[in-house]
Chains A and B, each alone.
Chain A
Amino acid sequence: MRQVFWTLSTLLSHWRRRPGNFAALFVGLAIATALWSGVQALNAQARKSYDQAASVFSSGGAQSLTPASGATVPQDAYIKLRRAGWKVSPALEAAVLIHGAPYQLIGVEPLTLPRGGQLGGQIAARAEGGDFAAFLAPPGQTIAAPDTLRDLGAKEGDRVALDTGKILPPLRSSALAPPGALTVDIGVAQTLLDRPGQVSRLMLLKKPDAGTPPLASVVGEALRLPPPGEEEADLKRLTESFHLNLTAFGLLAFLVGLFIVHAAFGLAFEQRLPMVRTLRAVGASTRTLGAALFAEVALLALVAGGCGVIGGFELASALLPNVAASLDALYGARVAGRLALDPVWLLSGLGIALAGALAAAAGGLVKTLRLPILAAAQPFAWREAQRRFLRRRAILALLAFGAALAAYGFGDSLYSGFAVLAGLLIGAALLLPVLLSAALRLGERFAHAPLPNWFWADSRQQLPGLSLALTALLLAFATNVGVGGMVEGFRQTFAHWLDERLAAEVYFEAAGEPQARRIEDWLKRQPEVQALLPGASASVRLSGWPTGVIGMAADATYRDHFPMLDQTPDAWDAMKRGDSALISEQLWRRLKLGLGSSLDLPTARGMWRVQVVGVFPDYGNPKGQVRVDIDALSAHWPEAPRVSYGVRVAPAEAPRLIAALQARFGQDIARIADQAAIRKISTRIFEHTFAVTTALNTLTLVVSAIALLASLTTLADMRLAQVAPVWASGVSRRRLAQLEFLRIVALTAATAIVAVPLGLALAWCLVAVVNVQAFGWRLPYEMFPAQWASVLALALLTAAVAAIAPILRFVRTTPAQLARIFANER
């Protein structure tokens, strides 16, 4: 033990003399851990929220009636059910942002809530304090857990504003409140969320008995009673791809971070070989040395990993609002609450840091332990070693490409999609030094003047030391090109698609059928209304997959505008006949249908067989969609309310029409918005979805820039000895500094140039493989040369920034320091 201690402290003394190397190691490991554990924290928080959200409403196995389609139903359904003897309690839930952080707003009706449940309990607990009436009487109360209050930075009685500007009722603390939840009266929630007269769920307090009329006879198909666990299962299935994507990016970032660690460790082991020899010579056994080396790695993993875990926590806290917003918008999954420092997560973060550090250090460790005590006479044979290194790399790269190809050829899942991606990236990473080396050799061959010749030859010698950093950069640049290309491609496609899909100028939903008829009659008499496009919907499950059936009129508007991927020539006429349907791309892929295939739709009156006559893109929809003629829909689902409308008017007339409708019909209209508003909401969903991707992307780039800086810094000491003879032969320091700078910029630029095709391959892989598997839709593959140029510029800038410090240091080296290289008395 004493031996290990002294050996360890001797080994550690190395770092004191190489603070730059230590910094690279530390930062690399910390960042790798931070990115990985940050993503893990986000995923864990989201999953915890799904469970929590479910348990809030389903404590003790209680079930809820949920809207068959859409997020809410008119509260009229609640009244109808209560008056038919159904013991239900209404709730309206949604994610809200406060200071950019997500919370779950829950509107409840306390009188019908079971006192024993969590929601009722928290209010009842407050009531014992003598303040129950205050929950109902204006301004009401917001009940929240003490932790939630702390997160809000508020105290009891404070009124907190939502980011929308609406103000919550005064806060009250209750230990029974679900974490991250803000419970208010349902009426207050409807006002806060701008959902007057709408509820999102009806909690079933008691199974209806024999004398209670069946659900469908009371509210038609507006509500359904999902089997226990279905809600959570759907949510988990729908969000799985999202989390997998997040995990993949976290893993990529982690690997890039480990590249730094590997480089820093490798260098340290190399530099410490003489020290290790001496230690062995004075009697440290291989076991002692092994234990000391392992302890060193473990210590570093603990310290750097600890910092990384904390950083990951901060990262996750910063990204949580975006993750929450996109999960809410895409899947209706509510993620709320504050990230908690979970000990299990903390330990697993440290564990991954240790595993990563060990993996990164393994090569060096083994090499050090196998080191013969007596040094071989000849100096390190870098040229031979490099040749072997490159050959091995090339072989491994080919293997990785082969694996990617195999995964593409034989795989049929999101995992195989990621395998393609991984194979491609790893292969390219392995191949990069081979390519760069070949390019440099070519340069060396064509350079005859001594200095350029030396420049190329020396760059080639530098390659192994820089290749890890350059590889990290390659991955970062390639993901930037790839992910950037995908996001940009999606942005354009999505915008265009929205333009076509949002053909009508005004959209509204009536509060009920009778109201819808009245509004329809009125609108038909308005001269400015060019067309009225009614819609209705029903929900079905196709092969277990939640699917919406939308009824639409085969109006000229749709024929002209509705975006299609593929259709039969008479698609719209066939649909109008009522025996044909358009299906979404997701459905087309999942059910492997083609034009002309028949599709059985389960209705209350048995199967309805329709023919598929068209496939349309339905970006962002996690569920399937079938579009049929509205009259055919009404025939098969008579209870499906016809309450949704699109109205065609001149765009300038839209605001006036909305105002007129609101003034005239007021509460009869559940929702109304113009095209611009819907476009804005959709675009915001899109931005949220990719905000996380973009953030991780940028972080990866930053990490690789740090890797380059770290490599250059650690190499700077060795460089001096390599450059000094050239200097002694009569090349000025300024000139040498210029060449050093040029070398790094050239290598980085070459890396960026390799990154562009790799990025394009990556983008293709993302749009054609990963996205299709993850979301069920395929984006058009587009190229954005301007983006490549910006990545190239970014690369050069990165190189310049990373190179500037070591080069300044070189320029500042005094002749005395350089001369000392040649001094005998060293």
Chain B
Amino acid sequence: MTYGATIEDARTPAKAKAQLLRVSRLRKSYATPQGPVAVLRGVDLTLESGESMALMGESGSGKSTLLHLIGGLDTAEAGEILIDGADATRLSDAGRAALRRETLAVVFQQFNLIPSLTVRANVAFQARLAGRFDPAWTDELIRRLKLENLLERYPEQLSGGQQQRAAIGRALAVRPRLLLADEPTGNLDEATADEFMALALDVVAATGCGFLMVTHSERLAAKLQRQVRLSAGVIDRP
């Protein structure tokens, strides 16, 4: 099944260590009763395939906004988001839907599983939607994420850690080029968070996709290859 236009660029296999994501001069502000407040004031960022990066910053620094813009969930005012060389900011609504469906995958802090579907259906959902459901890969994911005994359960019947494992399973089942995670461990205790991160990095490595994670935790950020910090709407130059 295809929904809207497909993006050939996003599908072309990337060269090794090719630039997967390039964000340039990205700007975004929100309207408030006191007038517009600039959240992103010209963000520049690059990420290569297979590379993992932690995006850090204080509350309100614009981390989630940046992630949503990259994830095609929201639209920017100015700047470029090149994913595999194609500019995501120029896409239509349908184009962004296709981008979300086929190239990206997102894991949220609130898990945001589909409440009416079982774990099995949730994991397979996006892959099926994108038309690239691979039973063998899905089974492997399920095994690696230790979801075997939870498949017929519904999200409400899972613990937080279990839900987040299902969420990452859903995200990776589609074999995204880029995995985005927005504080995926924010609702988990430290032990569960560590266990989750280990699993996540393991499966990310297995797919070879890029991984961009927003986090507050220096400890977890340290487990990723690169760390950047967002403050006052721009990336701090280390």
Contact = CB atoms under 8 A, between A and B. Distances in A.
Most buried by B among A451, A728, A815: A728
Interface residues of B, number: 45
A734 interface: yes
B59 A825 contact: yes
Interface stretch (B15-23, B109-117, B224-232): B109-117
Interface in B83-137: 93-94, 96-102, 106, 108-110, 112-117, 121, 124-126, 128-130
B114 A819 contact: no
B109 A824 contact: yes
Given A451-B1, A730-B97, A731-B129, A822 B110 contact: yes
A375 interface: no
B130 A730 contact: yes
B74 A816 contact: yes
Interface stretch (A115-123, A453-461, A548-556): A453-461
Contacts of A731: 3, 97, 101, 129
B114 A454 contact: yes
A450 B124 contact: yes
A461 B115 contact: yes
A368 to B, nearest CB: 21
Interface string B21-61: 00000000010000000000000000000000000000110
Interface stretch (A5-13, A79-87, A719-727): A719-727
B64 interface: yes
Interface string B150-162: 0000101100000
Interface in A784-824: 815-816, 818-819, 821-824
A522 interface: no
B64 A825 contact: yes
B133 to A, nearest CB: 8
A450 B128 contact: yes
Nearest to A450: B128
Contact of B75 (A382, A725, A727, A815): A815
B182 interface: yes
A733 interface: yes
A450 B121 contact: yes
A449 B74 contact: no
B156 A825 contact: no
Contacts, number: 114
Contact of B112 (A460, A816, A822): A822
Contact of A821 (B3, B112, B170, B183): B112
Interface string A760-785: 00000000000000000000000000
Nearest to A382: B156
Given A815-B73, A822-B68, A822-B73, A728 B115 contact: no
Interface string B163-181: 0000000100000000000
**What range describes how many residues of A lie at the interface?**
35 or more
B106 A728 contact: yes
Contacts of A450: 1, 121, 124-125, 128-129
Contact of B183 (A728, A729, A824): A824
Given A724-B112, A819-B73, A732 B97 contact: yes
B70 to A, nearest CB: 12
A733 to B, nearest CB: 6
Contacts of A460: 116
Contacts of B68: 819, 822-823
B156 A379 contact: yes
Most buried by B among A379, A381, A731, A825: A731
A730 B156 contact: no
A333 to B, nearest CB: 58
A370 interface: no
B121 A725 contact: no
A449 B1 contact: yes
A487 to B, nearest CB: 42
Contacts of B125: 450, 454, 726, 729
Contacts of B157: 378, 381, 383
A728 to B, nearest CB: 6
B113 A728 contact: no
Contacts of A724: 112
B186 interface: yes
Contacts of A451: 1, 129
Nearest first, the 4 closest Cβ-Cβ pairs linking A and B are A730-B101, A450-B128, A457-B116, A730-B100
5 contacts: A722-B115, A732-B3, A733-B93, A822-B73, A825-B59
Given A451-B129, A731-B3, 6 more contacts: A379-B156, A381-B157, A461-B115, A729-B126, A734-B94, A822-B182
Interface of B: 1, 3-4, 30, 59-60, 64, 68, 71, 73-75, 93-94, 96-102, 106, 108-110, 112-117, 121, 124-126, 128-130, 154, 156-157, 170, 182-183, 186
